[in-house]
Amino acid sequence: MVRTNYSGLNPVVVQALNNLQYQYSGEIPEMWCSCIRSPFKKLLEYNPKHFSKNGFIQMVERVYIDGDFKAEMHSLYIYCTVCDSLVIIHKNTIECGNDYLKKYITKTAVMHSV
């Protein structure tokens, strides 16, 4: 993920990041990705002190229960800024997303060095 320690970061930015990760009912992963792509990149770009431009955000499914939206679970989908696309990971963990990001950055670096 991008960052888990939000110390010193503007609370508005923290709230925006939290809101971006949620998928709403009826929204397919591709729709979620197209909605968050630009705002997520801008948050990373405008806060270089706290974030690298290479990052990912994991989709969290939300359900409507008893008149409220509740976070259900992390999904197998992430949006990766390096490959600029929606990616399916094999486990719904932050570590799996980080592994994908590292592998893709390495693969990209090798392709550009040849």
Domain boundaries, the chain: 11-113
pTM for the full predicted model: 0.79
Number of Cβ within 10 Å of residue 114's Cβ equals 4
* Six-digit token string for 64: 């409507």
Q: Mean pLDDT over all residues of the chain?
A: 85
CA distance 47 to 67: 35
Measure the CA–CA gap between 86 and 80, rounded to whole angstroms: 7
Tell me how far apart the alpha carbons of residues 9 and 14 are, in angstroms, rounded to a whole number.
Answer: 7
By CB atoms closer than 10 A (0-12, 13-18, 19+), residue 16 is middle
Q: Looking at residue 7, what is its pLDDT?
A: 74
What was the pLDDT predicted at 24? Answer: 76
Q: What is the pLDDT of residues 25-81, one digit of tens each?
A: 778 999 999 999 999 999 999 988 888 888 899 898 877 778 887 777 788 999 999
Whether 95 shows a pLDDT value over 70: the answer reads yes
Q: Packing angle between helix 11-20 and helix 29-46, nearest 10 degrees? A: 160
Angle at Cα 53 formed by Cα 49 and Cα 59, nearest 5°? Answer: 110
